[in-house]
């Protein structure tokens, strides 16, 4: 069996990835599919942490655009990520995968508070650690949370799960002639203003030379391919390979 290229992985899941064909909420079928994909990679001996967004329930920036105070809206968005984290935890536990949810905002009745050393210990014991509530601060996205947590737990790679196959020069859902990039540098992303992750997240990854792989979560086996180092999606790193 091919050994994994990456031993400790940070998976970034958007809230929108949980929608399935719905316009709002959490799709049971999608949760089941993702939990099965995660269970398969755990059998490789990989240590996995997940940062999950909340856009399927509430987006802080959307609330702010409608006149809501931005900080209040962002806190609401953070609570939405906790709902998703608990849903993913439940789906994984039903598959026999041990998990822990840690939140940047304390809510001890439903999850552990985020403690870096404790999260690393959970990973070492083979548990999937799901990070909820973003960074715990307004004005920061869950993309930035993913980059930050990846640095804190010393992840080997950031896997950014999306609903398209990788990073394109234009929106592939709107333009069939859109061209997908296989490899990009951090500076490519920043200078071209490509919609990979926000600039803060990319800058963090660049400062610490943390590779990012952007791939389609809806295709079976893609998480495993990325972890094994097989060609999938778009890789963002310091220089062209």
Domains and CATH numbers, the chain: 8-237 (3.40.1160.10)
CA distance 7 to 20: 29
CA distance 65 to 104: 25
Cα dihedral 205, 182, 48, 93 in deg (nearest 10): 130
CA distance 15 to 37: 17
Task: Give CA angle at 232 (84, 179), nearest 5°.
Answer: 100
CA distance 89 to 15: 14
DSSP 219: S
CA distance 153 to 33: 26
- Model pLDDT for residues 216-237, shown as the tens digit of each residue: 999 999 999 999 999 999 999 9
Based on C-alpha coordinates, what's the Rg of the chain? 17
Tokens of 101: 């949810």
More confident residue, 60 or 95: 95
Alpha-helical segments (H) within 10-141:
28-42, 60-65, 70-94, 116-124
| pLDDT of 240 | 54
- Model pLDDT for residues 116-130, shown as the tens digit of each residue: 999 999 999 999 999
Of 88, 49, 77, residue with least CA distance to 137: 77
Tell me the mean pLDDT in the region 22-37. Answer: 94
**Is residue 239's pLDDT more than 80?**
no
Say which residues have a Cβ less than 8 Å from residue 121's Cβ, sequence separation at least 6: none
| pLDDT of 22 | 87
Question: pLDDT band at 47, cuts 50/70/90?
Answer: very high
Q: Which residue has the tokens 């970034």?
A: 12
Residue 144 · residue 204 · CB < 8 Å: yes
Q: Which residue has the tokens 């940062």?
A: 51
| pLDDT of 197 | 94
Average pLDDT of every residue of the chain:
94
Residue 60 · residue 22 · CB < 8 Å: no
Q: Which residue has the tokens 């409608």?
A: 66
Type and span of the H or E element at 208: none
Stated pTM of the model: 0.94
Of 183, 158, 169, 141, residue with least CA distance to 55: 141
């Amino acid at each position: 069996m091919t050994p994994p290229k990456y031993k400790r992985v940070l998976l970034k899941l958007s809230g929108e990835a949980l929608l399935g064909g719905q316009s709002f909420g959490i799709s049971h079928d999608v949760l089941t599919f993702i939990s099965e994909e995660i269970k398969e990679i755990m059998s490789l001996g990989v240590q996995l942490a997940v940062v999950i967004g909340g856009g399927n329930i509430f987006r802080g920036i959307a609330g702010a655009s409608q006149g809501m105070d931005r900080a209040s809206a962002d806190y609401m968005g953070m609570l939405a990520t906790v709902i998703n984290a608990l849903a993913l935890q439940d789906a994984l536990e039903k598959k026999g995968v041990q998990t822990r949810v840690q939140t940047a905002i304390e809510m001890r009745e439903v999850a552990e508070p985020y403690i870096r050393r404790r999260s690393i210990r959970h990973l070492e014991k083979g548990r999937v650690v799901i990070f909820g509530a973003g960074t715990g601060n307004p004005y920061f996205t869950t993309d930035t949370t993913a980059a930050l947590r990846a640095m804190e737990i010393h992840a080997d790679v950031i896997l950014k799960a999306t609903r398209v196959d990788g990073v394109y020069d234009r929106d592939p859902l709107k333009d069939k002639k859109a061209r997908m990039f296989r490899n990009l540098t951090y500076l490519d992303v920043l200078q071209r203003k490509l919609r990979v992750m926000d600039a803060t997240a990319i800058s963090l990854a660049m400062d610490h030379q943390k590779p990012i792989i952007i791939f389609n979560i809806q295709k079976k086996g893609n998480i495993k391919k990325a972890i094994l180092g097989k060609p999938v999606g778009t890789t963002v790193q310091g220089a062209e390979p």
